[in-house]
Chains A and B, each alone.
Chain A
Amino acid sequence: MSTTITINNLTKRFGKVVALDNVNLSIEPGTFVTLLGPSGCGKTTLLRCVAGLEDPDGGEIYIGDQLVFSYDKGITLPSGKRDLGLVFQNYALWPHMKVDKNITFALEIQKLGKEEMGKRVKESLAEVKMEGYEDRYPREMSGGQQQRIALARMLAYRPKVFLMDEPLSNLDARLRMDMRAELKRLHHISGATTIYVTHDQVEALTMSTKIAVMKEGVLQQLDTPDIVYHYPANLFVADFIGNPKVNLLDGVVNGKNVVNIGPFKLAIDNINATGKVVVSIRPEDITISTQPVPGAVEFSAYSVLPSGADSTIIARLGEVELTIREMGISKIKMDQKIWLTFDPQTLNLYDKESGNLIAS
């Protein structure tokens, strides 16, 4: 049922803008791959190229064994023949058709029988928990409900590939949480290979089998959420992923396993690093103590921002500012002295020049 998707050297230009720059991406059957990146980095364009709504300026796309696009061979399989479903950011339900007609449109084109169509409508509405809404017009439903119908419309014709372009971005925060769970469930049940576009890193981390991080049309990293989070391939990815943001400190490797960060020294366990580097430290990987601890560095609490389950503490030492995440509501007071301990194993080192991760 599910299929691979392979993208080779895909390039797409809009006039002078290079929306996709030589993108290579290979997606295994049944995985949920998220395209993640800031607005304008080419996520939608990549998705639309796979869908066949955009004509790339180079490269090729396979869905399964089938070559659906090849610039060199001049092959472009029409969108409708690619056996994929697309959910648009603004749902794109046809406003003049009731829910059932919206769902059966594609089925009629596939010339399914009346009975089968009725069955599919029922099934797909059940899958998105919208039974009994057959006779509504899109405008008679809330945004969240329209979103579910848009999903049902895609599910009804059972495509091999699901494509979704920021499907939850128009929903409020609460609904978005619910829908994430539902979507993950739907993917689990259907097992269809899914490409999901979002600019929300939390969404990417919660939903994906793999995350493809993009910047200015260039693929930066394709890995599991775990790897992308703990070992970002470069400074851009490190900076983009994580909330609160990762701490990035400029330093110079000094002798063996020590980085000089100006006011203090940091122990590392990376034998490959030399010269100027950037050290990344996740806020939750720093341990705070209100008493002096051996090996800890003394900072001062600049600001304390509790938010229920956890608290964010901004600490300063001279020019250096660090963001620290502590569980629970913090008892630390502003301007209080604190001692920070760093675990060498959780640090990543990046080449100052290239910004790339230095493997340890």
Chain B
Amino acid sequence: MPIIICSALHYYTFFFLFVSAALMSIDSNLEEAGDLMGASRGRILRKITFPLVIPAILSGVIMTFSKVMGTFGGPNILGLPVRYYVVATMIRGSMAAQEKGDAFVLAIVLILFAITTISLNQRLVGTRRSYETIGGRGFVARLNKLGKMKRVLFIAVIIFQILVIAVPIGLLLYNTLMLIDGNYSLNNLTLQHWIGPRNTVYNHGEPGVLRNPIIYSAAWNSIKLALWTAFCTALLGIVLGYAIVKGRGTRLSKLVEQLAFIPYIIPGIAFGAVYIAMFARKLGPIPPLYGTFALLVIVSVTKHIPFSSRSGVSAMMQVGRELEEAGIVAGANVWQRFRRIIFPLTSSGFMSGFLMTFITTMRELSLIILLVTPTTQLLASQTMQYTENGDGQEANAVILILIAIVVLGNFIIGRFSRGSSLQKGLGM
């Protein structure tokens, strides 16, 4: 049960972005047309707005389902102690027990499962019901007045946000300050787990997280990985978006677009298993990459291609084709056009792709859990290490560090690029 709640809370943001993007792309004119015909607000909502976002809602449900199937972190932390297994945690179990065959089979099961849900999505939502809501010309997004409902709704949302964000973080923080887990008395409060020296009684003899060199190297690894991945992914996204949009309508472009989507349907942990299978040995000219930092970057970039290509496509769609053609007529070659026209005009798309990838890479666990080695330990995998050793407070402390880095990163990048948002990053 906690696993379910936890997953729901985690993915509701994802779902929210999905649907809100769809809502935002509805031309207010469509609703106003209903307004003019004297339809009531409820009727408009039911007859016009809803049908238009139904594809998005359905997609959201199915995609969330597929994502949760491959989720590793939550079920691992919450399920392991009570021997509640999901496929993803079983893969890791088999891998750890050196039963690679079992792990691969499970991975394939996950992949097949994901493929089924995706095709279900396409079947249900289909092309017939996916409306092109952006007309290009005279597009008006109007803020609908919620009337007196507004206040109530607003407060409800705030309470919900507090419940799902502030409370868990508060609890987490409190937990890290307890010397012994579960003892709520005041004299149990300590900073031992944060800055405590080496002490054989607690934490298997490791120092507090802020004194532990392993944590610093893990944090550095995490940041390095997130930055590298974000940069490569965002760049690749723009290039892919360019290729896809330029070739719009051709079969090749469609193929590229669909291929770019494949990593999305493969659950992270299965993805990791595939990469182990591929790169454990020397592969042609490629040296064995298992255990290297490069492999982590490669796998993270690949995993994010679906998002980055989508955000690349949407950024590129906003650049009118004449803008590039004006460059062609002026005699500029592909490189000059890309550098001086396309890239400057899509840089906000680049930044939001960067941000999006940075954040998800920082907290990604399912994907890299099978691939990290002691030298490439990351913050996310470190939390798991702690959890598995029963050092809950340290794990939570690391999670807080992780959250702090993500929030800080978000803030810094936000300062640099006004106007780029996560929604843009999702490419919707």
- Greatest chain B CB density within 10 A among A78, A93, A94, A95 is at A94
Pick from A86, A90, A105: contact of B320, CB below 8 A: A90
Tell me whether A320 is interfacial, beta carbon within 8 Å. no
By beta carbon, the residue of chain B nearest A110 is B331
Tell me whether A53 is interfacial, beta carbon within 8 Å. yes
Within 8 A of A (CB), among B320-368: 320, 322-323, 325-333, 336, 340-341, 344-345
Tell me the minimal C-beta distance from A302 to chain B in angstroms.
Answer: 36
Tell me the minimal C-beta distance from B333 to chain A in angstroms.
Answer: 8
B329 touches A80 (CB 8 A): yes
Tell me whether A304 is interfacial, beta carbon within 8 Å. no
The answer to whether A109 and B330 touch (CB under 8 A), given A95-B345, A96-B344, is yes
Within 8 A of B (CB), among A33-58: 51-53
Instruction: List B contacts of A92 (CB < 8 A).
Output: 320, 322-323, 325-326
Query: How many angstroms from the CA of A78 to the CA of B329 in the assembled complex?
Result: 8
A53 touches B331 (CB 8 A): no
| Contact mask for chain B residues 158-175; partner A; CB cutoff 8 A; 1 contact, 0 none | 000000000000000000
The answer to whether A53 and B325 touch (CB under 8 A), given A94-B341, A96-B344, A109-B336, is yes
Instruction: List A contacts of B344 (CB < 8 A).
Output: 96
Query: How many angstroms from the CA of A108 to the CA of B420 in the assembled complex?
Result: 31
By beta carbon, the residue of chain B nearest A105 is B330
By beta carbon, the residue of chain B nearest A159 is B329
B331 touches A86 (CB 8 A): no
Query: How many angstroms from the CA of A339 to the CA of B350 in the assembled complex?
Result: 73
Within 8 A of B (CB), among A104-162: 105-106, 109-110, 153, 157
A105 touches B327 (CB 8 A): yes
Tell me the minimal C-beta distance from A150 to chain B in angstroms.
Answer: 9
Tell me the minimal C-beta distance from A43 to chain B in angstroms.
Answer: 16
Instruction: List A contacts of B331 (CB < 8 A).
Output: 78-81, 106, 109-110
Query: How many angstroms from the CA of A96 to the CA of B343 in the assembled complex?
Result: 11
Tell me whether A85 is interfacial, beta carbon within 8 Å. yes
Pick from A78, A79, A84, A105: contact of B340, CB below 8 A: A105
Query: How many angstroms from the CA of A51 to the CA of B322 in the assembled complex?
Result: 12
Tell me whether A88 is interfacial, beta carbon within 8 Å. yes
Number of interface residues of A (CB under 8 A): 23
By beta carbon, the residue of chain A nearest B345 is A96
A157 touches B330 (CB 8 A): yes
Within 8 A of A (CB), among B260-274: none
| Contact mask for chain B residues 56-81; partner A; CB cutoff 8 A; 1 contact, 0 none | 00000000000000000000000000
Number of interface residues of B (CB under 8 A): 17
Instruction: List B contacts of A81 (CB < 8 A).
Output: 331
Instruction: List A contacts of B322 (CB < 8 A).
Output: 88, 90, 92
Query: How many angstroms from the CA of A259 to the CA of B20 in the assembled complex?
Result: 69
B332 touches A105 (CB 8 A): yes
Instruction: List A contacts of B341 (CB < 8 A).
Output: 94
Tell me the minimal C-beta distance from A111 to chain B in angstroms.
Answer: 11
Instruction: List A contacts of B326 (CB < 8 A).
Output: 86, 88, 92-94, 153
A79 touches B329 (CB 8 A): yes
The answer to whether A79 and B328 touch (CB under 8 A), given A95-B345, A105-B340, A109-B336, is yes
A53 touches B328 (CB 8 A): yes
Pick from B320, B323, B332, B340: contact of A80, CB below 8 A: B332
- Greatest chain B CB density within 10 A among A52, A53, A85 is at A53
A80 touches B345 (CB 8 A): no
Tell me the minimal C-beta distance from A117 to chain B in angstroms.
Answer: 13
Tell me the minimal C-beta distance from A159 to chain B in angstroms.
Answer: 9
By beta carbon, the residue of chain A nearest B343 is A96
By beta carbon, the residue of chain B nearest A82 is B329
Tell me the minimal C-beta distance from B413 to chain A in angstroms.
Answer: 20
Instruction: List B contacts of A80 (CB < 8 A).
Output: 328-333
A84 touches B329 (CB 8 A): yes
Instruction: List B contacts of A95 (CB < 8 A).
Output: 323, 345
Tell me the minimal C-beta distance from B323 to chain A in angstroms.
Answer: 5
By beta carbon, the residue of chain B nearest A81 is B331
Instruction: List A contacts of B329 (CB < 8 A).
Output: 51-53, 79-80, 84-86
Query: How many angstroms from the CA of A341 to the CA of B140 in the assembled complex?
Result: 55
Query: How many angstroms from the CA of A51 to the CA of B330 in the assembled complex?
Result: 11
Tell me the minimal C-beta distance from B246 to chain A in angstroms.
Answer: 13
- Greatest chain A CB density within 10 A among B330, B341, B344 is at B330
Instruction: List B contacts of A88 (CB < 8 A).
Output: 322, 325-326
Query: How many angstroms from the CA of A157 to the CA of B299 in the assembled complex?
Result: 48
Instruction: List A contacts of B332 (CB < 8 A).
Output: 80, 105-106, 109
By beta carbon, the residue of chain B nearest A101 is B340
Within 8 A of A (CB), among B276-296: none
Tell me the minimal C-beta distance from B361 to chain A in angstroms.
Answer: 29
Having A86-B329, A105-B327, one finds 17 other A-B pairs with CB under 8 Å, namely: A52-B328, A52-B329, A53-B325, A53-B328, A53-B329, A79-B328, A79-B331, A80-B328, A80-B331, A84-B329, A85-B329, A88-B322, A94-B326, A94-B341, A94-B345, A96-B344, A109-B336
**CB<8 Å pairs between A and B, sample of 13:** A52-B329, A78-B328, A79-B329, A80-B331, A85-B329, A86-B329, A90-B320, A90-B322, A94-B323, A96-B345, A106-B332, A109-B336, A110-B331
The 3 closest A-B pairs by CB, nearest first: A80-B331, A106-B330, A92-B322
**Residues of chain A whose beta carbon lies under 8 Å from any beta carbon of chain B:** 51-53, 78-81, 84-86, 88, 90, 92-96, 105-106, 109-110, 153, 157
**Residues of chain B whose beta carbon lies under 8 Å from any beta carbon of chain A:** 320, 322-323, 325-333, 336, 340-341, 344-345
